[in-house]
Amino acid sequence: MTVDSSNQPKRRLLVVTSMFPRWADDSEPGFVFELSRRLTAGFDVRVLAPHARGAAATEVMDGVEVVRYRYAPESFETLAYGGGIVPKLRKQPWKWLLVPFFLFGQYLAIRRELKCWRPDAIHAHWIIPQGVIAAIVCGSRKRPVLITTAHGTDVFALNGRLLRRVKRFVLDRSDAVTVVSNALREVVSCFVTDVGKIRVEPMGVDLKHRFTLDAESKRSHHEILFVGRLAEIKGLRYLLDAVATRLLKRYPDVSIVIVGFGPEEAALRAQAKELGIEDRVTFLGPVAQSALPALYRRASVFVAPFVRGRYGDQEGLGLVLVEAIGCACPVVASALPGVRDVVGAYTQCLVEPGNSSVLADAIAGVLDDPNAAARLNNELRDHVLVKFDWTAVAQRYQQLLGSAIQGRTIA
């Protein structure tokens, strides 16, 4: 006998994050929103995110309730968004003054939701700070299920004896832990008593409707594209050097389009000027998600020259590579562990991190033989479609959350 659950109310899922679109078609990375809206098929989803100037305090975005908590006067609510919290703290140390207010505001917001909305599960994106606050608030035996997702910076960049203890506290209190790459799993395993609770579950990309092939789009001749946060670990300085010292001599019409913003923008502009290539480099700044596919379809090659940062941080996955591959744009990327998770066995497109000469040679290989690069991209697209399309990713998270809630209910 089967039980008809169609009339049963949906379980409630509270998503806690420090990165979320501030408004429709924002330039901020949208993967938390994209996952949340797809989970509405099985849950009532409410997102807690920090407020920012110009953003609504509450709204519904494509079926997802969004509550943005306040932590300072609006003109000072600048800790989140616009390049990431950790890079901002390193570049502007005065913003550490905002951290206690940010944490307290998030703490109050989660407590309020637990008391008034009573979620069945909490999904905390990033171990620090969201996982920390959620783990503290969810201290009782009657607490909701806690799922914590590590994305990269919270694992690689935030180290030290005290922070390692904090991570262990959060992850041991979590009912399940997801990481976006195998590289992160290896590190996170050191902080978890029960490694069996860790699952590798990457975020996704819309490879069926947005980042897709377009036979009518024409690729430019020698245009190099970069999309991402302008931070040390993105390795853009090596791309600029590769163009100035090697590629410009070989391709006099070569150009670079840089999409994004972040703490290294001024330094990168100064480097381009010093190298004498400022007329070849276009800084587009932040671009809406809906405008990205056209850029990927126009570029000759997408380059992700990621490196390990001086504080040990590195790229956790690199979904921009998946976006480029989805739009049939040839890719060249650094051979970091997280990036290997994206390309799998197709390592022909990977190069040694932090080596401008090797990077230039790999880019030249694509520019010289675009047909071979296109054949490799076709194989890569089949590979990423199975692993990274949102349909598959959301289904895996639906199952994970449902199993965790069911296990708590049975217990």
Taking all residues of the chain, what is their mean pLDDT, rounded to a whole number? 91
Give the whole-number percent of the chain exceeding pLDDT 90. 70
198 shares a domain with 180: yes
Domain assignment of residue 215, yes or no: no
pLDDT value of residue 3:
42
Total number of domains in the chain:
2
Residue 242 has pLDDT above 60, yes or no: yes
- Residues 310-350 have pLDDT tens digits of 777 788 778 999 999 999 999 999 999 889 989 988 899 99
136 shares a domain with 269: no
91 shares a domain with 53: yes
Range of the domain at 310: 223-388
Asked if the peptide bond before residue 21 counts as cis, ω within 30 degrees of 0, the response is no
Place 153 in a pLDDT band, splitting at 50, 70 and 90.
confident
Domain assignment of residue 78, yes or no: yes
- Residues 359-374 have pLDDT tens digits of 999 999 999 999 999 8
HSE-up (13 A, CA, CB side) for residue 194: 11
Give the number of residues written for the chain.
Answer: 411
pLDDT value of residue 380:
92
309 shares a domain with 194: no
Residues 6 or more apart whose Cβ sits within 8 Å of residue 299: 219, 220, 223, 224, 225, 257, 324, 329
127 shares a domain with 256: no
pLDDT value of residue 318:
85
CATH number at residue 370: 3.40.50.2000
321 shares a domain with 234: yes
284 shares a domain with 371: yes
Domain assignment of residue 325, yes or no: yes
Provide mean pLDDT across the span 172-179. 93
- Residues 274-309 have pLDDT tens digits of 999 999 999 999 998 899 999 999 999 999 999 988
Nearest to 84 by CA among 126, 37, 56, 122: 126
Amino acid identity, residue 181?
Answer: S
Domain assignment of residue 290, yes or no: yes
130 shares a domain with 35: yes
**Residue 83 is encoded by which pair of tokens?**
């390049």
353 shares a domain with 319: yes
184 shares a domain with 271: no
Residue 410 has pLDDT above 70, yes or no: no
Domain assignment of residue 312, yes or no: yes
Greatest mean pLDDT among 35-39, 184-188, 344-348 lies in 35-39
More confident residue, 362 or 89: 362
Domain assignment of residue 353, yes or no: yes
378 shares a domain with 361: yes
